[in-house]
Structure 1
Amino acid sequence: MKIQIWSDVMCPFCYIGKRRFEQALQQFEHKDEVEIEWKSFQLNPNMVTDPTININQYLADIKGITLDHAKQMNDQVTEMAAEVGLTYDFDKAIVANSFDAHRFAHLAKQNGLGDEAEEALFKSYFTEGKNIADHDVLADLGESIGLDKAEVYHTLAGNKYAINVQQDIAQAQQLGIRGVPFFVMDNKYGVSGAQAVPTFVQTLEKAYNEWALNKPVKLDVIEGDSCEVGGDC
């Protein structure tokens, strides 16, 4: 059963949602039959990368609130993250456009490392305060999860996977997705936000039960002498 997850690297609830979903998956008895695909989404495609401004100040500026108020809001999210074992440090987080990070994630996905890439990106942004728009940072992340560092540089130097990112965003718009994280299970059920673990478990079970009714039957075959299409015997 396929599950698609739309997210943005700079979305704090996306990392929390990832953890809660993983916890739900551990409770799901058919987890070995689940295929997860990460999809790109940009909360602010026009954001200009600026390592001189941290995310607290950025939040204060775009919302027109005081810096103290912005810190209080992020402190609340930090507490939520801690409940699922994540460490957020908004004082270190760097304002960065996520487009190249999404291209990097698509490269990783093509190499069977999509989940590893998302985890590395989230940790770099929220915990380690790294600039996820910096190609050197992304190349190092790629190497850490098993990608070829030179290939990461080559990919980011051009426009490779840009169309993939844009297609993901367009698909999200077609589905009416306005915020992330957003989980689509078997193209039938959508879960919006970093929901509680039981909500994920219930939706997984509902989607799986319907999917299982229609999945092809896999035969246990006892091989013997036979003729195949084309006349080979």
Structure 2
Amino acid sequence: MPGKLTIVSDFVCPYCYWLEALLDRLEEPPEVTHVPFQLTEPPEPRVDVWNDPVRRARYAETLGPACQAQGVEMHLPPRVIPRPYTDLAFQGWCFAEERGRGEPFYRAVFRAYFVEERDIGDPAVLTELAEGCGLPGENFRTALETGAYAETVRRESRLSREALGIRMVPTILAGDKRLEGFVPDLDALQAWLDEVRREA
């Protein structure tokens, strides 16, 4: 298995959530570092994916059969109108990372949006998720209200776009190799990881 992977993703990207599900199914899951990439950054207008027939058709064609085959529960798309910004969710993740709870919080945010159809742009929702991961809710909420991690998220977002040259999510980076976009199944992911290992 290759060394640490860098995965660039956004909490509202269904292909990113699908990738996380595939990684969980690997016999030897790799060590992963996450980097944020916001599909819609404030003050850009938020989009309504629920009422978008083009996205619905694309998700049904690509992710629908894949999720059914792997038993992955996911609303395609979730009924959250409009699609939330994810800057606060990433700020919450930074808070969780500093306290050793980054991974469970990351998973909780994805599940809240794609399985439970909750608004992950709502500080109250994020605080509840944080508390469910064993984080202090009052301190977490204060960090969101004061923007304690806002600059960190902005810096990481610039890194993903400018330094890493990210143009789509998910993107997996392993050294100078990258895998971009929809990974159709576990075999495709494993084949890419095997190639990375052989060339390492």
Q: Return the TM-score normalized by structure 1.
A: 0.72
| Aligned residue in 1 for 2:23 | 21
Larger Rg: 1
Residue pairs, 1:165-204, within 5 angstroms: 165-173=153-161, 174-185=163-174, 187-195=175-183, 196-204=185-193
Tell me, in whole angstroms, the C-alpha distance in 2 between the residues paired with 1:10 and 1:188. Answer: 26
Deviations 1:135-187 (A, max 9, x none): 110000001112111121011011112122122222222222100111112x3
1:5 is paired with a residue whose SS is strand
| Aligned residue in 1 for 2:37 | 41
Q: Aligned pair in 2 of structure 1 residues 81, 93: CA closer, same or farther (>3 Å)?
A: farther
User: Which among 58, 73, 84 is matched to residue 87 of structure 1?
Assistant: 73
Residue pairs, 1:158-169, within 5 angstroms: 158-169=146-157
Shift of the alpha carbon at 1:122? Answer: 1.1
Percentage of matched positions with identical amino acids: 23
Shift of the alpha carbon at 1:54? Answer: 5.7
Does 1:73 find its partner at 2:61? no
2:173 is paired with a residue whose SS is strand
Aligned residue identity for 2:135: L
Aligned partners of 1:182 and 1:190 also within 8 Å:
yes
Tell me, in whole angstroms, the C-alpha distance in 2 between the residues paired with 1:113 and 1:209. Answer: 33
Shift of the alpha carbon at 1:210? Answer: 6.0
Shift of the alpha carbon at 1:40? Answer: 0.6
Shift of the alpha carbon at 1:208? Answer: 4.3
Aligned residues: 192
Residue pairs, 1:77-226, within 5 angstroms: 77-89=63-75, 90=77, 92-94=79-81, 95-173=83-161, 174-185=163-174, 187-195=175-183, 196-208=185-197
Q: Return the TM-score normalized by structure 2.
A: 0.83
Which runs of 5 or more structure 2 residues have no equivalent in the other structure? none
1:86 is paired with a residue whose SS is coil
- For the aligned residues, what is the CA RMSD? 2.4
Shift of the alpha carbon at 1:48? Answer: 4.7
